[in-house]
Structure 1
Amino acid sequence: MEEIVGFARAVRVGPYICIGGTAPVDAEGKTVGLGNAGRQAERCFEIADDALRRAGSGWEHVVRTRLMLTDIDDWKAVVDARKKYCRLSKPVDTIMQVSRFVNPEWLVEIEVDAVVADL
């Protein structure tokens, strides 16, 4: 999608890394985990993990995550997926319900901000 609509998965400016709304898609753009917010969140975090590493960072530098869900009652499954990546770094977090995403199959999107302090 990045090339099709003209956006970057992650942008690094100096020590700051911002990862935009990350959707639960596979390499072909197909939705992963249809109907399963926990599995969709896992996929979102896998994509964000790759973006962090490509930007020269990792979860130890993450300072904020934003979890957007179409059904706030799915928060526990999404937070359980987040734990794998954020348990040690303990970034601040926002969890919110949104009315919908571009693709109605998506139940979750995440955003991640990091600061690489060791430049």
Structure 2
Amino acid sequence: MQHRQLISSGSPWEDVVGYSRAVRVGNVVEVAGTTAMDGDKLVGLGSVYLQTKYIFQKIEKALTEAGASLKDVVRTRMFITDISKWEEAGKAHGEVFAAIKPASTMVEVSALIDERLLIEIEVTAVIPTV
């Protein structure tokens, strides 16, 4: 059986709900749905672009802790509450992944856990084996 590495953000919700910020098994890292919350503070209130940029910073931190990087991302999934704002999310995504070009999905959802959250993102990374 392969080792299972759990990466925590330190959020008290991880224990209450029973999840990890990210999980690495072998050379695969799955990063859970990530929002623009920084503790109790929301980063980028009212801006899909700013929320998306901050989310990718949080995701990068989790990937690094798992021994991966943004260059290892093969899949992104973006859940946006207003699809008419897709270009803002797309711009931020492009700034991070223009050269990496992971498979990507963006879908509109009716709501996230807090009405101020405009987007939630999860990623899958595969670390190259040597």
Name the aligned partner's letter for residue 22 of structure 1: T
The answer to whether structure 1 residue 14 and structure 2 residue 31 are counterparts is no
Per-residue CA deviation, residues 74-102 of structure 1 (Å, 9 max, x unaligned), is 11111111122211111000010000011
Between stretches 3-12 and 47-56, larger displacement belongs to 3-12
Name the aligned partner's letter for residue 62 of structure 1: V
Per-residue CA deviation, residues 10-62 of structure 1 (Å, 9 max, x unaligned), is 10000110001001111x23211111111111111110010111110111111
Secondary structure class of the residue paired with 2:37: coil
Aligned pair partner of 1:24 in 33, 36, 41: 36
Name the aligned partner's letter for residue 35 of structure 2: A
Name the aligned partner's letter for residue 107 of structure 1: L
Give the gaps of 5 or more residues in structure 1.
Answer: none
Give the deviation of 1:3 after TM superposition: 3.9
User: In percent, how many aligned pairs have the same letter?
Assistant: 38
Secondary structure class of the residue paired with 1:110: strand
Distance (whole Å) between structure 2 residues aligned to residue 5 and residue 58 of structure 1: 26
What is the aligned partner in structure 1 of residue 73 from structure 2?
Answer: 62
Aligned pair partner of 1:98 in 105, 109, 129: 109
Between stretches 50-59 and 29-38, larger displacement belongs to 29-38
Which TM-score applies when normalising by structure 1?
A: 0.93
What is the aligned partner in structure 1 of residue 3 from structure 2?
Answer: none
Runs of 4 or more consecutive aligned structure 1 residues displaced over 4 Å after TM superposition: none
Which TM-score applies when normalising by structure 2?
A: 0.85
Give the gaps of 5 or more residues in structure 2.
Answer: 1-10
Q: Report the RMSD for the aligned CA atoms in angstroms.
A: 1.2
Name the aligned partner's letter for residue 11 of structure 1: V
What is the aligned partner in structure 2 of residue 78 from structure 1?
Answer: 89
